Amino acid sequence: MRRKLTITLAVEALLLIVFCMIKPFNVHYFSAIMAFPFKQLGMMLRKISLYSYTGNIISIIIYSVICLLPGIYLMFRLIKSKAHAEDGLLALLSLLLFFIIYLMINPADIVKHFGSSELLEANKAFLGVVIYSIAAGYFILRIMRVFANSETNAILKYLKVLLAVICIVLTYGVFGSGLMGLFSTFQQLAADNTGAGQGLNLSYLFLVLQYIVNVLPLVLGIFVIYTGLELIEEFRKDPYSREMVLSVQKTGQFCRKAAAWIILSQISVNVLQLILGSRVRSSHYTLSIPIVSVVFVLIAMLLANYFEQVRQLKSDNEMFI
């Protein structure tokens, strides 16, 4: 799985880099992404509706069917007696689809509701975020229930898939939003220093260093996940083996190093900016405590001690038998 994941992440990173190089970051790209496909759907339904009376009827039918899809799925789960508390989000999703797609069909009502025509595109993106947040919340809660009701092998399988998805998201943070943000700061620095002889090379260098500091936790998070995937494989083979204990220790050691690298990178850039002062025209001081890495270290240490004790106990029992 790790080989396939590596290829997937490499392709994703390459595509994101190409996209960022062709189209430097702009807030409208965020709006276009988060409003998709609701904005386009609203435009299509509005065009069909205005075409004729028959087109209006067809538009209403399509609108109703799309908005009712989560509710229909909820009814299906209720009939099959498979519905749980989190399925209530499907009903909420249907209701909000009726409201949000209606606003997309009638953009003037978005302006009336939010009170700002200048932020129309941004408000469309916010409407999309609401829908995506509910959908994401529903899937996460469903996954958690699957975890709770599954056997160990099934849980490990789902966990590997979840870790792979997290890697994809982290890769986007590094080469997508992170790189877009870097290009945006480049543009802002150039716009704020239009005079001749500004000597911006050092400032550009520090923007790159700040970018590295910001994405370093994400990059290290991907490597931590890779060690976690190796740990899962060892656990599936034999949870009481020496290799399993070594794998847990390896994960803990890497998390400890990751926490140190994150802290030292922040300290280094902060101190350099302080020393250079005004020669760096775009200073950003960072303070980020790697709590997640520290927690992983503690968990890995506990697991290593636990599995070592269990392995030793199993070995003693086998010798006794």
pLDDT at residue number 95:
94
| Alpha-carbon distance values, 233 to 3, 114, 227, 251 (Å) | 14, 51, 10, 13
Spatial distance between the Cα atoms of 316 and 14, rounded to a whole number of angstroms: 52
Residues of the chain with pLDDT under 70: 22-33, 149-152, 192-200, 277-321
Encode pLDDT of 216-238 as tens digits.
888 888 888 888 888 788 777 77
pLDDT at residue number 90:
93
Encode pLDDT of 2-50 as tens digits.
788 888 889 988 888 887 776 554 545 555 667 888 888 888 999 898 8
Amino acid occupying residue 164: A
| Nearest residue to 207 (alpha-carbon basis) of 226, 172, 179 | 179
pLDDT at residue number 75:
94
Running DSSP on this structure, what letter comes out for residue 194? -
- Burial degree of 179 (CB within 10 A; 0-12, 13-18, 19+): buried
Amino acid occupying residue 301: M
Across the chain, mean pLDDT equals 79
- Cβ–Cβ < 8 Å for 185, 282: yes
